[in-house]
Structure 1
Amino acid sequence: MRAVRIDEFGGPEVLVPVEVPDPVAGPGQVLVRVAAAGVNRADALIRSGNYHRAGRPPLIPGVEGAGTVAALGEGVTGFSVGQRVVALDGVNAPGFYAELAAVPETQVAALPDGIELTHAAALPVAWLSAWYCLRHLARVTKEDTVLVKAAASGVGSAAVQIAAETGARVVALAGSPEKAAWAGEFGARATIDTSAHPDDAEVDEVLRLTEGRGADVVLDTVGGRAFGRSLREIGHGGRVVALANVALEPSTVDTRDFYPKNASILGFQLTNLQVHGGYDPRPDLRELAERVAAGTYRVPIETVVPLAEARAAHERLERRDNRGKIVIAVPGE
């Protein structure tokens, strides 16, 4: 089969198109014929050797994808060959930058009619993360003001829609006027261009928009210094959910910014939640797919790149100028 492989850790240039033997569905596995693979920060970290669960090269990146069932391993009864499915696997990392991927059946969900495979491939990481953080951890309600950082990203644009659907007042933060305006189209009541409100000015603008109360929920997808600001932006009894550190820098925390407010700090990491928390992603994946199919949510796909040009997808991701998801299209037979 055709795939993109990493033979050594490094920059986007180490993503090399290759021909490799077809994988085989082992016991309890579903062999997926991949039509589309989502591109994520985790893929870039795997490629560079900085992912906490990355193996050693050679390896095929890609932790999420969508396609059709090509074969079923021993003991698998819940699927049929040809069925449309969405899958993820950051635990075993089968690699979705390929024509075929063998995935544990516990990581595969059937898709309803009405959702394109390109859109489905964007659900398992960004959308599932936003959904779990807002619905299960922060338990957002219509009474809440929700602050979404990096709102023009895949996670951010999903989070704006998920929070807005509950009736919450959403404030979307993004790093340029264009990105902030774009994020606002998904249901945010207010937007903040962080390039015009750096550091303390960002905190002041959040407090102005909330009449000094601060937010009830902050979804921090940035980390680093931004996390320190999140603690100052949260209100009394609020919840700060931290799920990334794309800033790749330490976070300096002043406990006086949150403990007097009885605020909660909640951490989220999808792979570890499955490994250590026993989380089954399939019910939430199915619900997300059904809502997309029904038109409740819109999955913004910014760029679709052919499999052989995966390097270009990573280059665009790391420039951080994309709005929404980047997806790799895998050619059919």
Structure 2
Amino acid sequence: MRAVRIDEFGGPEVLVPVEVPDPVAGPGEVLVRIAAAGVNRADALIRSGVYHRAGRPPLIPGVEASGVVAALGEGVSGLEVGQRVMALDGVNAPGFYAELAPVPATQVTVLPQGVGLTEAATLPVAWLSAWYCLRHLARVTKEDTMVVKAAASGVGSAAVQIAAQAGARVIALAGSAEKAAWAGEFGAHATVDTSAHPDDAEVEEVLRLTDGRGADVVLDTVGGPAFGRSLRQVSHGGRVVALANVALAPSTVDTRDFYPKNAAILGFQLTNLQIHGYDPRNDLRELAERVAAGAYRVPVETVVPLEQARTAHELLERRSNRGKIVLAVADL
């Protein structure tokens, strides 16, 4: 089969198209014929060797994908060959930058009609992360005002929509005027261009937009120095959800920024959640059904062929994209 492999850690140039033997489905596994694979920050971290569970080269990256069931391993029930599915990397890192991938059946979710395979390839990581953080951790309701950081990213644009559909007032923060305006198209009630409001000015703008009280929920998808600002932007009794550190920098926290407000800090990491027993299928099924019903719009900015994974990673690391980048593997 065709695949893109990493033989040594490094920059996008280490993503090399190769031919490798077809895998088979082991006990409890589903062999998925891949149509499309989402491109994520985790893929870039795996490629560069700084991901917490990257393993050692040679390895095939890719943590989410869509496709059809090609074969079922021993003991698998409830799925059929030919079904359209989406799959999540989960704990075993099967690697979706390839034409075929064996995946534990617990990481495979059947797609409803009305969801295309390209958009489905973006749901298992970014959308599921936003969904879990808002629905299960922060429990966002129509009574809340919510700040979404990096709102033009995959997670951010999903979170804006999920929060807005829940009835919350959404303040979308993004790194340029263009990105902020784009995030506003997904239901944000106010937008902030953080390039025009750096550091303390960002905090002051959020406080201004909330009449000085701060936001009930802050979704921090950035980490690093931005996390300290998130603590200053949250209201009395509010919740800060931290799910990433794309800044790859330490966060300096002053406890006086949150404990006097009785605020809660909630952490989220999808892989660790699965290691400790989380089954993503029900949440992914509900997400896909809402996409099929038109409640959410899945923005895919760029689709490139599998062999051009290097180009996809270069685009990702420039941080100029709005929404998701997807690798097209096969027309299924």
TM range (shorter): over 0.9
Contact 1:65/1:86 (CA < 8 Å) preserved in 2?
yes
Aligned partners of 1:286 and 1:303: how far apart in 2?
25
C-alpha distance in 1 between matches for 2:249 and 2:66: 33
Q: In 1, distance between residues paired with 2:283 and 2:311?
A: 31
Q: Where does residue 295 of structure 1 map in the other structure? A: 294
The whole-number CA distance in structure 2 between the counterparts of 1:300 and 1:322 is: 11
1:64 match: 64
Distance in 2, matches of 1:240 and 1:29, equals: 37
The answer to whether 1:202 aligns with 2:206 is no
Structure 2 Cα separation of the partners of residues 332 and 246 of structure 1: 32
Output aligned runs, 1:97-246, within 5 Å.
97-246=97-246
1:221: how far off?
0.2
1:310 corresponding residue in structure 2: 309
Deviation of 1:201 after TM superposition, in Å, equals 0.4
Instruction: Measure how far apart 1:29 and its partner are.
Output: 0.2
Q: How many Å separate the matches in 2 of 1:212 and 1:181?
A: 23
Please say if residues 53 and 91 of structure 1, whose CA atoms lie closer than 8 Å, have aligned partners that are also in contact: no
Deviation of residue 331 (structure 1)? 2.5
Cα distance between partner residues in 1 of 2:179 and 2:83: 37
Per the alignment, in what secondary structure is the counterpart of residue 170 of structure 1?
strand
Task: Return the letter of the residue paired with 1:42.
Answer: A
TM superposition score normalised by structure 1? 0.99
Q: How does 1:26-65 map to 2 (within 5 A)?
A: 26-65=26-65
> Match of 1:325?
324
Kept in 1, the 8 Å contact 2:90–2:274? The answer is: no
Does the 8 Å CA contact 1:11/1:48 hold for their aligned counterparts?
A: yes
Q: Aligned-pair RMSD on alpha carbons?
A: 0.7
Contact kept? 2:180, 2:193, Cα under 8 Å? yes
1:332 & 1:163 partners in 2: Cα distance? 33
Write the deviation string for residues 144-166 of structure 1: whole angstroms up to 9, x where unpaired: 00000000000000000000001
- Tell me, in whole angstroms, the C-alpha distance in 2 between the residues paired with 1:189 and 1:268: 25
Q: TM-score, normalised by structure 2?
A: 0.99
CA distance in 2, matches of 1:331, 1:283: 27
Structure 2, gaps ≥5 residues long: none
Runs of at least 5 residues in structure 1 that lack an aligned partner in the other structure: none
2:11 & 2:249 partners in 1: Cα distance?
19
Q: What is the rounded CA distance, in whole Å, between the counterparts of 1:220 and 1:332 in structure 2?
A: 36
Within a 5 Å distance, the mapping from 1:69-88 to structure 2 comes to: 69-88=69-88
Name the residue aligned to 2:272: 272
Q: CA deviation at 1:91?
A: 1.1
Alpha-carbon distance in structure 1 between the residues aligned to 2:288 and 2:195: 34
Between the aligned partners of 2:11 and 2:290, the Cα distance in structure 1 is 36
Q: How many angstroms does 1:330 deviate by?
A: 0.2
Matches of 1:312 and 1:295 in 2, distance apart? 31
Partner of 1:286: 285
**Helix, strand or coil at the partner of 2:275:** helix
Identity %: 86
Aligned-partner Cα distance in 1 for 2:9–2:90:
18
Q: Note the alpha carbon deviations across 1:282-312, whole angstroms, 9 max, x for none.
A: 0000001011111000000000010000000
Question: What amino acid is the match of 1:237?
Answer: G
Structure 1 residue matching 2:182: 3-state secondary structure = helix
Stretches (4+) displaced over 2 A: none
**1:242 and 1:268 in contact (8 A); partners too:** yes
1:169-193 superposed Cα distances (whole Å, 9 cap, x missing partner) = 0000000000000000000000000
The answer (yes or no) to whether the contact 2:31–2:70 under 8 Å persists in 1 is: yes
Give, in angstroms, the shift of residue 4 of structure 1.
0.2
Measure how far apart 1:238 and its partner are: 0.2
SS at match of 2:213: coil
Instruction: Assess if the C-alpha contact under 8 Å between 2:90 and 2:107 holds in 1.
Output: no
Equivalent pairs, count: 332
